[in-house]
Structure 1
Amino acid sequence: MLQRLFILVLALGLAACSGLPFNAVAPKVSVADVAVKRLGFFEQRFDVGLRVSNPNDFDLTIEALDFELEVNGQPFASGLSQTSTRIAATSSTLLRIDATTQSKDLIRQIESLSPESLKAGVPYRIHGRLKTDRSPNWVPFDHAGVYGGDKEKPEGHPV
């Protein structure tokens, strides 16, 4: 009896720490696109499109999202949104968020990119946290991928 009580308390404790209800899966966040908004001498602003997917069988409202974007293993930009966005069950939406970078980080990125690395694709990583209506806690996220690169064309197919 005491062992069952301990397991129940442990399971509830782990659920409370996860940041979402016990049966929930954390939303997935990935980069959809990045566009230059404003270039300044000290700071640059970008419009970052983030694809946020809700794998759950219930709706979620994203109340806030804060992220850092790394490109080629180096810091690139960061952003914060406090705009409420509802995501239907088992669907996704595109969030547009302003992000900023410092000139030194942008210069470092330009210096590190060679034509060969652009052909292979540029690795990126986005990580941060989001707040939903289903939890008082922030939920972390982390996603890595490769942008661009030459894609091999299958034989026998026109260009």
Structure 2
Amino acid sequence: MPNSRLVLLIFAWVAFSMLGGWASLFNREEMRVNVAGIEPLEGQGLEMRFAVKLRVQNPNDSPIDYDGVALDLDLNGHSFASGVSDQRGTGTVPRFGETLISVPVTISALSVARQALGYASGDSVSKVSYAVRGRLAGGALGY
């Protein structure tokens, strides 16, 4: 029976440690992400490729480690481009700091055609709205 007590003690310690870790995640502010630039890349066939540079700001008092990035770009309410990168570099957004991350994105010919048809059908071109969604992946938890 001494082994079962040891296992129970270890299990309890791990559970309390995880709860403390999760509690710290709940007190985190959301990171701020802005598109800092877009540069053309070589595409294949009917696709266009760009390197989207993101400025990621961490308003929290602890650094955030990452080892991958996923990005979706919507244009006028429709999916337009997506990209992923296993970029690590320093792999950290410093506490109360920022970092620049480059993500290669692909735009399909279908996405371009959908946008062009929307404008040709009489949609107003005076305002273009966009939304960027994504995540930084790090270890077992994503941010």
Which protein has the bigger strand share? Answer: 1
Choose which of 65, 71, 79 in structure 2 pairs with 1:61.
65
Choose which of 91, 97, 107 in structure 1 pairs with 2:103.
97
- Aligned-residue Cα RMSD (Å) equals 2.7
Q: Secondary structure at the match of 2:137?
A: strand
- Report the residue type matching 1:71 in the other structure: L
Which protein has the bigger helix share? Answer: 2
Residue 126 (structure 2) pairs with residue 138 (structure 1): no
Higher gyration radius (CA)? 2
Aligned to 2:92: 86
Percent identity reads: 30
Q: Distance in 2 between matches of 1:123 and 1:113?
A: 13
Aligned to 2:112: 106
Tell me the alpha carbon deviations over residues 74-118 of structure 1, each in whole angstroms, 9 at most, x when there is no partner. Answer: 11111111112322211212211111121111222233347952x
Is the deviation greater in 108-117 or in 45-54? 108-117
Choose which of 71, 79, 100 in structure 2 pairs with 1:75.
79
The total of aligned residue pairs comes to 122
Query: Could you tell me the TM-score, scaled by structure 1's length?
Result: 0.63
